[in-house]
């Protein structure tokens, strides 16, 4: 019987792979045999079936009642002012490492997870078309736009086969290493503006940047993603700080993120009546659509007037336009909304860690100088290949200050999670962001030890203790998500962080002489909560 199920699952996989052959390698990597037979295969003999039979019924899982949920989010309620993160943790204290959260007003129930073994099970059985619930409001907006622009595709906010088709066409453009050259130079140009901006705004005596330095980091992140997504240098950072369109985009991107929690998790009637939150959200989406549409059309016109030569490739946008104009617009909006706030928080985390750890900073500088002895020399795809310590510093900073509260997946199979039966199709909130800071998983968790991420022989901290991250369950720390649905902008984000950290450390001694207590607050994603008054001292 179990052989029958094995071959059935394998058969389905083979058929789908014919459709999406590019994902074949990923799939083989991610769908480990242990879990691929689970999918609804409740055969009498399977190990899974025994586990399922012995597990507690879903209904008996500790849960927040519908009334508690609704009351908690009403005026004066216990959850009303809490961030998503604090809300989930408050309930964890009451119910433990697994609990049910009721879906209210037409939303489905969710199960909230804090156990890494459960994270692994959910990810490993997510299937080839993993669904990420939570962005219903985006889909609702796109489905209901009067001009029907999104009738064929809802972009990467879609789910199921339609998501996969879209992702399949954009993956090669955004994720293939060979395409990095398309965005390396534009990103580097923006990056050098950032260095100049720091020199302009820092106090001439203290050499500290102003309290609102986060705004500059935000503009760096915005200019960087815009140069990729819209093939346009807005120059918000320095040359064109009053650019109205760039400001509109920036402002509405942040409003967009906030609405995702307000409309996706908190109780909301927006599908029945246009609530003020939904109206604000739809206005942001309209504005972002209009601006994006204009820039993509302008790029198209430029290309038509000055077509690229055979084999010549000039930008990511040009490549996306070659697929078609709609794909280019939808992808540009999806990149802009997903990139800016996250990238700037991640950059702030990296800078705080490096500024507070001068020995590590010096070690990184030495690595950079060995590869690029002249600080004016540009990074290239080639010379960036051998910078393991740079990458380790970024990984370690994202471990200490994880960006997202966690992730969301619809369970791809019936699963036993923490001893309870959880049916296929349940929305699972993988609440992972606190675990990378627990000593159980990472020794000396609050210390910035990039060596954890190096090869075995190098993974020893300054006082000789082994701190290797290799043996830690990798599902604890997945800053870019997992599997075929993981961050499509990962290469761009990593390159942007590597260029920024690399260029800053080559140019300055970076210090942060203030408290880092409660440096970040968590909403859907983290955001710096302290003034980022870094000190930048020029290096000779």
Task: Kindly tell me which residue out of 343, 426, 432, 500 binds ligand HEM, with binding defined by CB under 6 A.
Answer: 343
Query: Do 183 and 320 form a contact (C-beta atoms < 8 A)?
Result: no
CB of 300 to ligand HEM, least distance (A): 20
Short-list 485, 495, 395, CA closest to 187? 495
Smallest separation (angstroms) from ligand HEM to the CB of 339? 4
Residue 179 to residue 491: CA distance in whole angstroms: 10
Site string for ligand HEM, 199-238 (x = CB under 6 A): --------------------------x-------------
Q: Please give the distance of CA 473 from its chain centroid, rounded to a whole number.
A: 19
**Are the CB atoms for 421 and 55 separated by under 8 Å?**
yes
Q: Could you give the string, one character per residue 127-166, with x where binding to ligand HEM holds by CB under 6 A and - elsewhere? A: -----x-----------------------x----------
Residues 350/397, Cβ–Cβ less than 8 Å: yes
Residue range at the interface with ligand HEM (CB under 6 A); choices 42-50, 89-97, 468-476, 482-490 = 482-490
Q: Which of 320, 428, 493, 495 binds ligand HEM (CB under 6 A)?
A: 493
| Residue among 101 and 138 whose Cβ is closer to ligand HEM | 138
Taking CB under 6 A as the rule, does residue 112 contact ligand HEM? no
498-526 burial string, b = 16+ CB within 10 Å, else e? bbbbbbbbbbbbbbbebeeeebbebbbbb
Which one of 127, 264, 489, 502 is in contact with ligand HEM (CB under 6 A)? Answer: 489
- Closest separation between CB of residue 488 and ligand HEM, Å? 5
Shortest separation between residue 1's beta carbon and ligand HEM, angstroms:
33
DSSP letter (8 states) at residue 447: S
Q: Which is nearer to ligand HEM, 61 or 153 (CB)?
A: 153
User: Is 353 part of any known ligand binding site?
Assistant: no
- What count of Cα atoms within 13 Å lies in the side-chain half-sphere of residue 186? 25
Does 267 help bind ligand HEM (rule: CB under 6 A)?
Answer: no
- Contact indicator for 456, 470 with CB cutoff of 8 Å: yes
Using CB under 6 A as the binding criterion, the count of chain residues that bind ligand HEM stands at 25
Where would I find the beta strands (DSSP E) of 74-219? Answer: 98-101, 110-113
Taking residue 93's Cβ as centre, other Cβ atoms within 10 Å add up to 7
Q: Is 404 in the site for ligand HEM (CB under 6 A)?
A: yes
- Between 32 and 370, name the residue whose CB sits nearer to ligand HEM: 32
Q: Min. distance of Cβ 110 from ligand HEM in angstroms?
A: 15
DSSP-assigned beta bridge partners for residue 330? none
Q: Which of 99-107, 138-146, 248-256, 402-410 is the region at the interface with ligand HEM (rule: CB under 6 A)?
A: 402-410
Q: Does 403 bind ligand HEM (CB under 6 A)?
A: yes
Q: Which of 194, 482, 520, 536 binds ligand HEM (CB under 6 A)?
A: 482
CA distance 340 to 342: 6
Binding of residue 441 to ligand HEM (CB under 6 A): no
Query: Which whole-number Å values give the CA distances from 397 to 40, 143, 151, 497, 533, in the listed order?
Result: 39, 39, 41, 11, 18
Structure tokens at 15: 């058929």
Q: What is the x/- site pattern for ligand HEM, positions 49-88, by CB under 6 A?
A: ----------------------------------------
- 488 contributes a contact to ligand HEM by CB under 6 A: yes
Nearest by Cα to 442 from 90, 116, 118:
116
Alpha carbon separation from 65 to 25, 99, 100, 416, 474 (Å, rounded): 43, 11, 9, 22, 33
List of residues contacting ligand HEM (CB under 6 A):
132, 156, 167, 225, 334-335, 338-339, 342-343, 346, 403-404, 407, 479-482, 485-489, 492-493
Q: Which residues are annotated as a binding site for heme?
A: 487
Q: Which residues are annotated as a binding site?
A: 487
């Amino acid at each position: 019987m179990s052989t029958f199920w094995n071959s059935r699952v394998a058969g389905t996989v083979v058929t789908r792979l014919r459709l999406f052959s590019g994902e074949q390698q990923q799939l083989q990597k991610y769908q480990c045999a242990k879990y691929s037979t689970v999918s609804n295969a409740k055969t009498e003999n399977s190990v899974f079936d025994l586990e399922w039979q012995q597990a507690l019924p879903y209904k008996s899982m500790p849960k927040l009642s519908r009334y508690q949920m609704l009351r908690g989010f009403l005026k004066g309620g216990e959850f009303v002012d809490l961030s998503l993160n604090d809300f989930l943790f408050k309930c964890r204290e009451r119910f433990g490492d697994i609990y049910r959260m009721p879906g209210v007003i037409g939303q489905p129930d969710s199960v909230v997870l804090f156990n890494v073994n459960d994270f692994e099970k959910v990810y490993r059985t997510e299937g080839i078309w993993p669904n990420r619930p939570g962005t219903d409001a985006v889909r609702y907006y796109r489905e209901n736009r009067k001009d029907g622009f999104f009738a064929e595709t809802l972009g990467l906010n879609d789910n199921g086969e339609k998501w996969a088709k879209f992702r399949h066409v954009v993956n090669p453009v955004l994720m293939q290493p060979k395409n990095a050259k398309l965005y390396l130079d534009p990103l580097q140009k923006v990056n050098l503006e950032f260095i100049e901006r720091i020199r302009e705004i820092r106090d001439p005596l203290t050499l500290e940047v102003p309290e609102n330095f986060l705004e500059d980091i935000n503009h760096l992140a915005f200019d960087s993603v815009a140069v990729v997504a819209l093939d346009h240098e807005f120059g918000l950072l320095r040359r064109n700080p009053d650019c109205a369109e760039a400001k509109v985009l920036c402002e509405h991107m942040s409003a967009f993120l906030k609405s995702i929690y307000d409309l996706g998790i908190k109780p909301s009637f927006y599908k029945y009546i246009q609530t003020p939150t939904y109206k604000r959200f739809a206005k942001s989406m309209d504005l972002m659509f209009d601006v994006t549409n204009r820039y993509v059309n302008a790029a198209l016109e430029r290309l038509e007037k000055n077509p690229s030569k055979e084999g010549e490739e000039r930008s990511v946008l040009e490549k996306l336009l070659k697929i078609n104009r709609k794909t280019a617009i939808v992808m540009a909006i999806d990149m802009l909304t997903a990139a800016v706030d996250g990238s700037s928080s991640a950059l702030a985390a990296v800078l705080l860690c490096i500024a507070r750890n001068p020995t590590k900073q010096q070690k990184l500088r030495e690595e950079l100088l060995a590869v690029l002895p002249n600080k004016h020399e540009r990074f290239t795809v080639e010379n960036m290949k051998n910078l393991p310590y740079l990458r380790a510093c970024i990984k370690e900073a994202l471990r200490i200050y994880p960006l997202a509260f966690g992730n969301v997946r619809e369970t791809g199979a019936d699963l036993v999670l923490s001893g309870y039966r959880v049916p296929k199709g349940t929305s699972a909130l993988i609440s992972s962001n606190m675990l990378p800071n627990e000593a159980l998983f990472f020794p000396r968790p609050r210390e910035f030890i990039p060596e954890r991420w190096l090869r075995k022989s190098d993974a020893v901290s300054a006082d000789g203790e082994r701190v290797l991250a290799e043996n830690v369950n990798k599902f604890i720390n997945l800053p870019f998500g997992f599997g075929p649905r993981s961050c499509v902008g990962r290469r761009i984000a990593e390159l942007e962080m590597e260029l920024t950290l690399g260029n800053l450390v080559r140019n300055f001694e970076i210090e942060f002489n203030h408290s880092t207590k409660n440096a970040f607050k968590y909403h859907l994603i983290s955001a710096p909560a302290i003034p980022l008054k870094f000190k930048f001292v020029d290096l000779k």
